[in-house]
Structure 1
Amino acid sequence: MRVVFVQHGNYAEAYRRMCAGEAETYRDQFRSVSLVAGLAAAGPVVTVALGDAHHDAQLAPNLRSVGLPRADIDRAGSLLDDLAPDRLVCRTPHTRLLAAAAARGIATLPCFADMMRPPSPLGLWRHWRLRNALRARTVPCVANHSLNASRSLVEAGLVSAGHVVPWDWSRLVPNPDPKPGMPDPQNPTILFAGKMTVEKGLGDVLAAMSVLAGQGLNARLTVAGGGDVRPWQAEAARLGLAERVDFLGLVPNTEIRHRMRAYDIVVVPSRHDYPEGLPNTIYEGLASRSVLMLSDHPAFRGRVEPGRHCLMFRAGNPAALGAEIRKLCAAPELYAHLSRQAPEALNSLYVGLAWGDLVTYFLDDPANLTGWVERHSLCALGLSG
C-alpha cells in the first residue's frame, strides 16, 4: 500500500530535527512526524509539502519527502499520476488536488484545520468543485480540527454532519497552581505566539499597546513566531514601542510554554479572515494558567466563556483589546478567577478522535466498512448543531 500525505510545512526538515534530537516548534509536531515515519514499515510513504521549495529526498527506506512550490501546485493531477497513491491524506482544502484524487478513484481522507465559509459570488465555482470532491465515493468522511471548524463544513454547505469527523491533538496537563494575579499591574507582560501577519492580529496588539501607553499603562510584548520581522520592528518603532517589544522568531515549543507561564497574558488576536481551526496557543495558554485574551474569531466563539475562562474582544479592534487589558490590570480578583477556571476550559476543548487514531482508522478501512465514521461523526457525538 502506497500512502501519500499532502500538507503545508516541510516534513523533511521536521524529520531531520526529530532525528537530530532537536526541539519541536509546535506541540505534537514530532508525534505526527513519527506516526508518518512508522507507516513506512508497511509500504512506501511520501509526504508532499505544498508551497515549499523544490526538494525530493529519500529520508529512510520507504520514506520520501517531496517539496512542491506554489507555482507548481496546479499540476495536482500529474503529481498524483507520478506518485500513484493507494491512500491519500490531504491536510489542506486544496480543491484542485482533491478533485484530481476523486477523478482517479483514490481513497482520500481530507483532514483540515480550517474554518470554512459560505462562498462569495466570485467563489461559487470553486465552492461547487470542492463540495463535489468532498462528497466523492472515495472519501469516507471529512475531518476538521475542533468543534466550530467541523461545524463550519456543514454550515458552508459542503458536507452533512454525519459525514464530518472532528479531530484533536493529545491532551495537555494544566499547571497545578493557579496564579493569584499580576506582579505589576501597571506593567503587564503579554505573549503573542504565532505567524507575524496582519491577519493573525499582531498589528492590533501593537496598536492596543500604543493606546494603553497613552493612558499610563506600559505593557511589554514578546512575539514568538515565523515571518518577516522587519516591518513589525518598524511598526513598533513608529508607535514608540521599540524598547517594549521583543521579537524572538521561531523558538522551541517547550520554551513557548515556559514563557506562557511566566507572562501575565497570552493573547490570540486572530482576525476573522484568518482561516484557522483552534490554535495550539489557546490550549497551551489555558494550561499555563496565565490569562487568555482572545479575539471573537468564529473558531473561538462558544468554545470558552468570556469572563469565566478568558477575556474576549472584537477582532481587528485595538481599542477593544486595550480596554480588556486595562480591565484585567485593574481587577486582581478577575485575574485569579480566570486562572482558577482555566483547567475546566481546557478540558472542554477536546472533541473527537486523536489525529493518529483518525489516520489509522482511514488507512485500515478507507471504505468505512466497519462504520468508524458513523461512530465518530458530529451526529454520533451529538454536536451537529
Structure 2
Amino acid sequence: MKIVKVSGDVTIKRTVDGGTEAQRETVKEIIANVRSNGDDALKAYTEKFDSVMLEALQVEQEEIKEAYQHVDSKLVEIIKEAAANIRSYHEKQLRPSWLTTEENGTILGQKVTPLDSVGVYVPGGTAAYPSSVLMNVIPAKVAGVKRIVMVSPPGEDGSIPAGVLVAADLAGVKEIYKVGGAQAIAALAYGTKTIAPVDKITGPGNIYVALAKREVFGDVDIDMIAGPSEIAVLADDTAKADEVAADLLSQAEHDVRASSVLVTPSMALAEAVQREVEVQCAALPRREIAEQSIRDFGAIYVAANMEEVVETVNQLAPEHLEIMTANGMELLGKIRHAGAIFIGRYSSEPVGDYFAGPNHVLPTNGTARFSSPLSVDDFQKKSSIISYSEQALRDNGSKIAEFARLEGLEAHARAVESRLKKQ
C-alpha cells in the first residue's frame, strides 16, 4: 500500500464504469426481449445465465418455511435484532404532511405520500446478502409502501440462499421472484404476466444490473448507480495500526475495484498501517481480491496537519468515513462530504453494514458531495398544496399577472385576471 504525501488536490483513483458498448447493447436487447416475451424471456435468460430451468418464477411459502431450517436459530435472532435497529433508526426519518393557514385565508402545505410499489434487487453469485434485503426493504415498509417485490438470481439448484429468504420474510416481503440480472430490472420496470411492474427499483447489482437501471430510469425511478465500495480512515497517532489496517481490508475484500484510503498527519502510523495491511491481507480467504484492490485503488495519504487531513477527506467525499482520533466528535462539524461517518475506535465500518441501524446503501464515486444514504424519503413523494382565498388573490393577482407577462405568457395573466373582474 503506497504512502503519498499530500500536496494540493487529492482524488481517489476510482472506477466509474459506464460499461462497454457491447454490454450496453446486450442490456438493451435483454430489456426489449423481456418487454416483448415476458416470462418466457425471463426463464430463458435464467437458464442461460444461472444454469437452471425454472417451471415457476415465484418463491412459494413452503420454500420460505424450509429456509428457516437451514439458518441457525441464533442467526435468525441476530437478523431480527438487526432489523429492529434498522427499523428504529428509519422511523425517526418519517416526516408528516403539513398545512399552514395565513391571516388572509390562504392554505399552503405539503402532502407526503408513500410510493405504491417498489422492487428490491438482491445480488446473488458467490455470496448471499441478507443485510441488503433489510437495508432496502425496511425503509420502504416504514415509509408506508404497500407492495414490495424482491428479485434475486437463483443458484444452480433453483433456490435463493436461505439467509436471504429469512431476511425477506422477517422484513415483511410477500412477493419474491427467482430472477436476476438486467432481465429482472426489465421485469420490474415493465412487468410480465407473473411480475407486475413497480414504481421504483432499488438495490445493488453487477454492471448489467447497473446499466439496466440506468436504461429504465424515467419509466421508473431508481435509487442510484452504485460504484465499487470505498472507505477512508481519518486517523491520528492515537489510532491502532492493526485496527486501521483491518478496516481498510474490510472494504478491499469486497471487489478488486474497491478503494481503501488512510489519511493521517502521522508518518509513524502510516508506515505501521502499511506493514499491517501486508501481513493481514496474506491471511484473508479473499486475499487475491483484497491484494488487487489495495494495489490498484488503495493509498495512504500523509498530511502536514489535521486541517489538511480534514480538507483531503472532504475532497475525497468517501462512501464510508471512519474518524479514529483523540477528538473525533470535535472533527465531525468540519466534515462536509461523506456517505456515512463512523466515529471512534469501536465504530468499525461493519457495525454500520449490518447492525447499528443507519442505512448501508450509500453514495459512491464522490457523489457524497451531493447525495445521501438510502432513506425513508426515497420511498415517499411530496405534493405541494395551494389553496388561495379570494382576498389573497385580490391582494396578489395583479402582481401574478405582471409576472406572467414578463415571461410572455398572456394566457397565464388572463387566467388570474378573469377572477379579479368578477364580484
Determine if the TM-score, normalized by the shorter chain, exceeds 0.5: no
Q: Give the number of the structure with larger relative contact order, counting CA–CA contacts within 8 Å between residues 6 or more apart.
A: 2
| Structure having the larger proportion of residues in helix | 2
Using structure 2 for the length normalisation, give the TM-score: 0.27
Using structure 1 for the length normalisation, give the TM-score: 0.29
